Amino acid sequence: MVDLAKFGAHVDAFEYCPFHPDASIERYRRASYRRKPAAGMINDLLERFPVDVSRSILIGDKSTDVEAARAAGIKGYLYASGQLADFVRPLLPHNKARPTE
């Protein structure tokens, strides 16, 4: 397990959308711009926090996560299984191959 705090990572917020068009509880039964694959939750966060979208990625475990990321202008990656650190490592900028001069 990697302690991401050692690298300056931290969680600023947790988001969820309780609404679904087929919800069993009536007060939650509606469509919402925040429900994935729409980008509403991500866009709301982008308004609240100073995020450089061009340097951001979103890793999700469902195709709707990736669709929402792309709809918000963020690169999205689908994580299915295995070691998360092994999946993330090549996506980070410091691990990208740099052109030789």
What span, in angstroms and rounded, lies between the C-alpha atoms of 51 and 53? 6
pLDDT at 95: 59
Confidence of residue 101 (pLDDT cuts 50, 70, 90): very low
Question: pTM to 2 decimals?
Answer: 0.78
What pLDDT was estimated at residue 64?
96
Give the per-residue pLDDT at 100: 42
Q: Which residues in 11-94 belong to E strands, given as ranges?
A: 57-60, 75-78
Q: Which domains does the chain have, with CATH numbers?
A: 19-95 (3.40.50.1000)
Q: What integer pLDDT is reported at residue 96 of this predicted model?
A: 55
For 12-62, the pLDDT digits (tens) are: 899 999 999 999 999 999 999 999 999 999 999 999 999 999 989 999 999
**Around Cβ 26, how many Cβ atoms within 10 Å?**
7
pLDDT in tens, 61-96: 999 999 999 999 999 999 998 888 889 888 887 755
